[in-house]
Amino acid sequence: MKQKKIGQILVEESLVACCNIVQPVESIFRWQGKVLIEQEALMICKTREEMFHTVEKRVKELHSYEVPEIIALSITQGSKSYLDWVTKETGHIQ
C-alpha cells in the first residue's frame, strides 16, 4: 500500500494526529545478504507514546514490506499547544 494511503488511514483511525511524507529518500541497506540502494518514502507520524504498539501493528498490516521501519523518537521539548493537539487527536478511536 502506498505511503499516502497508510498515512490517511492512520489519521482517519485516530492512531496518529499527523503524518508527514518525505520523498524521495535514498536508502542503502542490507536485505537477505545483499546490499541494496532503493528510493523510498519517509513517513513521520505524530502520536502519543502509549499508542506506539497499536500504530506499529496497524502499519505492519498495511505496509507491503516484510520488515517496515517503525521506530519511536522521544520528544524532549515541543510547543504545548501542538502537543496538546496531538493528544486530543489521538485520544479517541473511531
What pLDDT digit, counting tens, does each position of 20-66 carry?
999 999 999 999 999 999 999 999 999 999 999 999 999 999 999 99
Half-sphere exposure of 61 (CA within 13 A, CB side): 9
Domain membership of residue 49 (yes or no) is yes
What global pTM score does this model have? 0.92
Residue 44's domain comprises 3-89
Domain membership of residue 77 (yes or no) is yes
pLDDT at 94 over 70: no
Number of domains into which the chain is organized: 1
Which spans in 16-79 are helix H?
52-62
Domain membership of residue 23 (yes or no) is yes
What CATH number does the domain containing 46 carry?
3.30.70.120
Q: Which residue, among 25, 10, 21, 4, has the nearest Cα to 59 in the 3D structure?
A: 10
Domain membership of residue 46 (yes or no) is yes
What does the alpha-carbon distance between residue 34 and residue 43 come to, in Å, rounded to a whole number?
24
Q: Which three cell numbers stand for residue 30?
A: 542490507
Q: Which three cell numbers stand for residue 61?
A: 498490516
Domain membership of residue 43 (yes or no) is yes
